[in-house]
Structure 1
Amino acid sequence: MKNKSNQKTVNVIKKGISFGTCLSMVISYTAYKSIGWAIVHGCLSWIYVVYYLLKYAHTIF
């Protein structure tokens, strides 16, 4: 039972990291039109997403 629980946790973490990376790269490329910055921001993942929301939330809504 414990092994199945650990496997589910690992799968959730992997999917979350993948989604965060993809989201940050799309936001970055849309904002800066630069593949280089998109790669850098993809490495930062959720950190960049939160930064972008805090900095530009007033222009989005």
Structure 2
Amino acid sequence: MKKVNFILVFLLVFAQAYSQERIDSETTRTVITNGISLGSVIAAVTSWERNKSVLWAVIHGIFSWFYVIYFVLTRRADEKK
């Protein structure tokens, strides 16, 4: 499952970088302003791994980096590597 999550995050980041090469600057600014951030993706993936709930993943994705920091500070022993 961790390999699938890593591949998903990699594809999202790669797709964003690749898509920006072929779009004019105004569209790129709009996508970056209104698009999904890396913090949202990390928060949603870590929330899913911990809770297995789509609702919590969406809520934590909205809180983005705040949830990522909270997750790092409150990790359980089985979540640390």
Q: What fraction of aligned residue pairs are identical, expressed as a percent? A: 35
Aligned residues: 48
2:61 is the alignment partner of 1:42:
yes
The residue type equivalent to 1:20 in the other structure is G
Q: Which structure has the highest helix share of the two?
A: 1
Tell me the residue number matched to 1:56.
75
Which ranges in structure 2 are unaligned for 5 or more consecutive residues? 1-24
Q: What's the TM-score, normalizing by structure 2?
A: 0.51
Partner in structure 1 of residue 51 of structure 2: 32
Where relative contact order (Cα < 8 A, 6+ residues apart) is larger, the structure is 1
Query: Counterparts of 2:76 and 2:50 in 1: how far apart (Å)?
Result: 13
- CA–CA separation in structure 2 for the residues paired with 1:57 and 1:45: 20
**2:42 corresponding residue in structure 1:** 23
Question: Runs of 4 or more off by more than 6 Å in structure 1?
Answer: none
Deviations 1:10-58 (A, max 9, x none): x6xx4xx610000000000011000000000000000000000001175
- Structure 1 gap segments, 5+ residues each: 1-6
How many Å separate the matches in 2 of 1:33 and 1:58?
18
Q: C-alpha separation between the residues in 2 aligned to 1:22 and 1:52?
A: 13
